[in-house]
Amino acid sequence: MDGNGRWARARGRSRVMGHRAGARAAQRTVQAAREARVRILTLYAFSSDNWARPPREVAGLMRLFRVYLFAETGRCVENGIRLSVIGRRDRLPSALIGAIESAEAATAGGRMMDLRIALDYSARDAIMQTAAETAGKDLSREEFDVQMAKAIHSPTTGEVDLLIRTGGEQRLSDFLLWESAYAELVFSPCMWPDFGAPELASALKEFHSRERRFGGVPEAVAS
Ligand code: FPP
């Protein structure tokens, strides 16, 4: 969800205002993904490296996440969406941890879509933690997936099919590195606060136009 800062600067507003507009874009996109029958949507809201941002911006983001979770819970319940937060919890403010636990409990019965919000998330840390916890065990990839999902508090496992990055950046920035082994990447010039249903539809169209071979040849995949 890149581009909040630049979107705000172009309007003479603060970065926190850009993040607020970003939260509205997240609401629109969740709705659009639900209507497009996306099964799992993961939003990268705060990376473990984002703690390096100015304290004022970090505090504004932590407040915004709490407000977002309260606001989103009702909509998720109405739409059959199970909301969960992936990443580390021990460095988050206690009020935010409470909001996460309430949102997860209230939406636990959702069966139509999984909405995962990544907060204090680092894919490299998740891989290292899981590798350390499973050292010496002869695990399959699927079993490793399950252990990693536990490490990041994710109720779901599985591969990323489509990874969309906005704001013109073309990097992965420590996001779902293990799960994205065969992800299709779509880089959009759109600043995140301007993202919504049309931009999601365009990324999905691009995704469906791609031929996915998973290291095989087209005929093998087709059969
Ligand atoms: C990166 O853009 C964005 C973030 C670090 C924060 C993302 C947070 C939100 C969209 C708000 C809340 C959303 C949810 C789902 C709870 P940037 O600030 O680095 O922008 P820039 O690349 O223009 O500087």
The whole-chain average pLDDT of the chain stands at 96
- 50 included as an active-site residue: yes
CA of 22 to the centre of ligand 1 (A): 6
Q: What is the mean pLDDT of residues 67-72?
A: 97
33 C-beta neighbours (distance < 10 Å), count: 20
pLDDT digits (tens, 9 = 90+) for 159-169: 999 999 999 99
The DSSP-derived string for 2-51 is: --HHHHHHTTT--HHHHHHHHHHHHHHHHHHHHHTT-SEEEEEEEEGGGG
Spatial distance between the Cα atoms of 204 and 94, rounded to a whole number of angstroms: 37
Model pTM score:
0.96
Protein residue with least CA distance to atom 11, ligand 1: 23
- 4 included as an active-site residue: no
